[in-house]
C-alpha cells in the first residue's frame, strides 16, 4: 500500500472506537434490566455523584453538547427517573434532579461496573492493566478536550 498511515491497523482511532462499541454492547443487557440506554446510564452516573445540577453541567461532565443531552433528559423525565425545572432567578438554566425512582436505580446499577470489570479482568487483562489503560485514555481525553476548548476560544 502506498500510504501505510492509512491502513486501518495503523490508526489510533479505530481500536478506541471498536473497544468503545464492544464495551457498550456488553453493558446493554445489564442496562436493559433497568430500562436504560448507555447514554442515559452516563447521565445517571453524573446525577448519582451530584444531584440537582444544570443541563449544561451534565453536558460538560459528559463532554457532550446540550442539544444531545436534552433529548436524553426528556425521555428520562417521561420514564419518571428525573425532573427538569427552570431555575427561578435565571430562566435559561434548567436544573435536573433525580426522582425517587432514579435514586433507587442506583442500588441495582452499582453491580454493573464490577460485573463487567471482573469479566474483562479475568479474560483479557488484569485489574492493574485495566486501570493503567483507563488513566492513559483519560490523558488523551483531557488533552483533546483542552484542545477543543482552545480551538473554540480562537473561533470566538
For the stretch 8-55, pLDDT in tens is: 999 999 999 999 999 999 999 999 999 999 999 999 999 999 999 999
Mean pLDDT score, 117-132:
82
pLDDT at 76: 98
Residue 124: which pLDDT band, with cuts at 50, 70 and 90? confident
- Res 153 pLDDT > 60: yes
Q: What is the DSSP letter of 5?
A: G
Rounded mean pLDDT of the chain?
90
Helix (H) or strand (E) holding 27: helix 13-32
Question: Residues of the chain with pLDDT > 70: what percent?
Answer: 95
Mean pLDDT score, 46-70:
95
Q: Against a cut of 0.75, is the pTM above it? A: yes
Classify the C-alpha dihedral 133-134-138-144 as positive or negative. Answer: positive
Mean pLDDT score, 110-128:
83
pLDDT at 151: 65
> How would DSSP label each residue in 46-81?
HHHHS-SEEHHHHHHHHT--HHHHHHHHHHHHHTTS
pLDDT at 136: 95
In angstroms and rounded to an integer, the radius of gyration of the C-alpha atoms of the chain is 18
- Res 155 pLDDT > 70: no
- Res 112 pLDDT > 80: yes
Amino acid at each position: 500500500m502506498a500510504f501505510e498511515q492509512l491502513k486501518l491497523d495503523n490508526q489510533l482511532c479505530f481500536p478506541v472506537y471498536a473497544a468503545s462499541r464492544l464495551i457498550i454492547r456488553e453493558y446493554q443487557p445489564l442496562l436493559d434490566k433497568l430500562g436504560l440506554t448507555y447514554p442515559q446510564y452516563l447521565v445517571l452516573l453524573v446525577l448519582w455523584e451530584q444531584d440537582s445540577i444544570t443541563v449544561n453541567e451534565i453536558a460538560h461532565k459528559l463532554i457532550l453538547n446540550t442539544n444531545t443531552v436534552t433529548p436524553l433528559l426528556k425521555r428520562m423525565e417521561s420514564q419518571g427517573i428525573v425532573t427538569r425545572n427552570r431555575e427561578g432567578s435565571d430562566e435559561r438554566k434548567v436544573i435536573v434532579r433525580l426522582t425517587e425512582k432514579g435514586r433507587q436505580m442506583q442500588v441495582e446499577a452499582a453491580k454493573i461496573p464490577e460485573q463487567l470489570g471482573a469479566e474483562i479482568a479475568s479474560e483479557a487483562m488484569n485489574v492493574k492493566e485495566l486501570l493503567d489503560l483507563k488513566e492513559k485514555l483519560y490523558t488523551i481525553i483531557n488533552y483533546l478536550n483542552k484542545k477543543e476548548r482552545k480551538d473554540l476560544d480562537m473561533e470566538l
